[in-house]
Structure 1
């Protein structure tokens, strides 16, 4: 099946990145969001990120113009998915929200369309059960920032058809990404390994084993990580980290996944990391300085 028309639901950080990459690699893309302002901001972000690619010699100015010309936006889901061969949901990491979207997609998207979720932890099998086409539901977990990161975690639900997996792997390769196929268990692979590491780093801070900078420095210099776990948590969003840890804890029933009380309190206080301006570090617009907040 030759898929050329892509619909992306959600104009946030992940959604605009996914739309950007598909448009860059010659797909026709419709970006869907209930918020018109969010769509405008997403197009502006894609334009700015494309300018950055042009300045680095990664794409030409003509490619940037083609990206923007093949990208369409709408607040009407029915119109946005009407001709889609692949729909990728990139809404907030909330199970109830995703189930509602997939119930709608099942009614509105063409019968042959593949329905994918960019979820980082929520069960693909549970999402697929909200539809009458579970064999056509799959996970496509892109990494942030999408235009830069090479990995796509391809998650098979219990009923995902092999030909759907094959098609998604082929499409990921067209995007110059590296697809890794995994099965549907809480956190999949990326977050099942990453989130306990981040949680342990938060516990180390909570128990005053070391400070924010010291914890991150040990992991950067000792383990060759490009970013320390506390800075990475800020980048991901502390609320997202907490949500994923709760999925792991509930899914496995194992106390080792219980989120650190410090993380719980920070999220309750609205200290969410980069997006709120403060997490384990303080963030000033226009500055790259890392200033510990704790």
Structure 2
């Protein structure tokens, strides 16, 4: 696929995806309101370089070009107008339905008619976002997992109006950056978060009711079911504030009361205990590590 790839959002997920694209040889434009100043850009570049170094430390077999060469492929903008030449755009904004709908409307107005618009939404139905555009056939879901540079597969969501061409371009782009797309149909939460968020919500209530502490809950999942980290460490990595936001989207889109965030989750978020990015959540961490939505 030729042309620049745009990434909307300079959180950890957005920067992680930009890193994957740049390492794959693509020119990338990252758009975020925080990038309207030299200070904002410098902070984003610093976080990007840190992410590159951490990924190479954790996965040394993936080491490729020097960090400086990768970062040179990324440019920065504070408005979506900077994506007027992008051939593909991946939206990574916070999980707020009105915000994402507004962004998709802006992208539709700015980007060439052939541009594919993808969303990394955790739970919002892709067809709902597509309705904010005049090109619903070119809107698709690309649900990257966190941390994006270290995950080999992506949940790709094909909405009812997503064209075969847009889907294929998405799969080709993912393959070009070393990832496999797993295609699912559209629906609130798709596959992963439709199941995972219920699990996290219930696991949190198990802790709140005193059946087991967080470490024991995760240990049961790890040792009895072979789960890599357990549901509560996974939630800490995602960010408990993002988990609550995702549950609220699922509640709104399905009407199913099972998705109402439980008391334990809400109390942790209200206390500013978001997980790894704040230094504590269900577990304690030696230092804050920035994370973002799944």
TM-score scaled by length of structure 1: 0.91
Aligned to 2:8: 9
Aligned to 2:62: 58
Q: Distance in 2 between matches of 1:31 and 1:83?
A: 13
Aligned to 1:290: none
Of the three residues 233, 236, 239, the one matched with 1:234 is 236
Question: Are 1:122 and 2:154 counterparts?
Answer: no
Aligned to 2:28: 29
Q: Distance in 2 between matches of 1:260 and 1:138?
A: 31
Compute the displacement of 1:112 (Å): 1.1
Compute the displacement of 1:77 (Å): 2.1
Q: How does 1:87-166 map to 2 (within 5 A)?
A: 87-166=89-168
Aligned to 2:292: none
Unaligned ranges ≥5, structure 2: 290-294
Residue 11 of structure 1 contacts residue 39 of structure 1 at CA under 8 Å; is this kept in 2? Answer: no
Residue 54 of structure 1 contacts residue 64 of structure 1 at CA under 8 Å; is this kept in 2? Answer: no
TM-score scaled by length of structure 2: 0.91
Compute the displacement of 1:57 (Å): 4.6
Of the three residues 70, 74, 94, the one matched with 1:71 is 74
Residue 16 of structure 1 contacts residue 43 of structure 1 at CA under 8 Å; is this kept in 2? Answer: no
Distance 1:38 1:218, change over 3 A: farther
**DSSP 3-state at the match of 1:158:** coil
Distance 1:240 1:57, change over 3 A: same
Compute the displacement of 1:74 (Å): 1.5
Distance 1:53 1:199, change over 3 A: closer
Residue 277 of structure 2 contacts residue 288 of structure 2 at CA under 8 Å; is this kept in 1? Answer: no
Compute the displacement of 1:107 (Å): 0.9
Compute the displacement of 1:206 (Å): 1.5
Residue 272 of structure 1 contacts residue 279 of structure 1 at CA under 8 Å; is this kept in 2? Answer: yes
Q: Distance in 2 between matches of 1:197 and 1:217?
A: 15
Q: Distance in 2 between matches of 1:38 and 1:231?
A: 30
Residue 3 of structure 1 contacts residue 86 of structure 1 at CA under 8 Å; is this kept in 2? Answer: no
**After superposition, what is the alpha-carbon deviation per residue over 1:247-275, rounded to whole angstroms, capped at 9, x for unaligned?**
22232222333322211222223221122
Residue 8 of structure 2 contacts residue 90 of structure 2 at CA under 8 Å; is this kept in 1? Answer: yes
Residue 84 of structure 1 contacts residue 109 of structure 1 at CA under 8 Å; is this kept in 2? Answer: yes
Q: Distance in 2 between matches of 1:77 and 1:258?
A: 33
Q: Distance in 1 between matches of 2:274 and 2:53?
A: 28
Aligned to 2:173: 171
Alignment RMSD? 1.8
Q: Which has the higher contact order (CA 8 A, sep 6+)?
A: 2
Question: Are 1:280 and 2:289 counterparts?
Answer: no
Residue 117 of structure 2 contacts residue 139 of structure 2 at CA under 8 Å; is this kept in 1? Answer: yes
Residue 16 of structure 2 contacts residue 51 of structure 2 at CA under 8 Å; is this kept in 1? Answer: no
Bigger mean CA deviation after superposition, 271-280 or 103-112: 271-280
Q: Distance in 2 between matches of 1:100 and 1:268?
A: 27
**After superposition, what is the alpha-carbon deviation per residue over 1:221-255, rounded to whole angstroms, capped at 9, x for unaligned?**
11111212111111111111112122222322223
Bigger mean CA deviation after superposition, 8-17 or 240-249: 240-249
**After superposition, what is the alpha-carbon deviation per residue over 1:32-68, rounded to whole angstroms, capped at 9, x for unaligned?**
11113444333222222323455525224x4433211
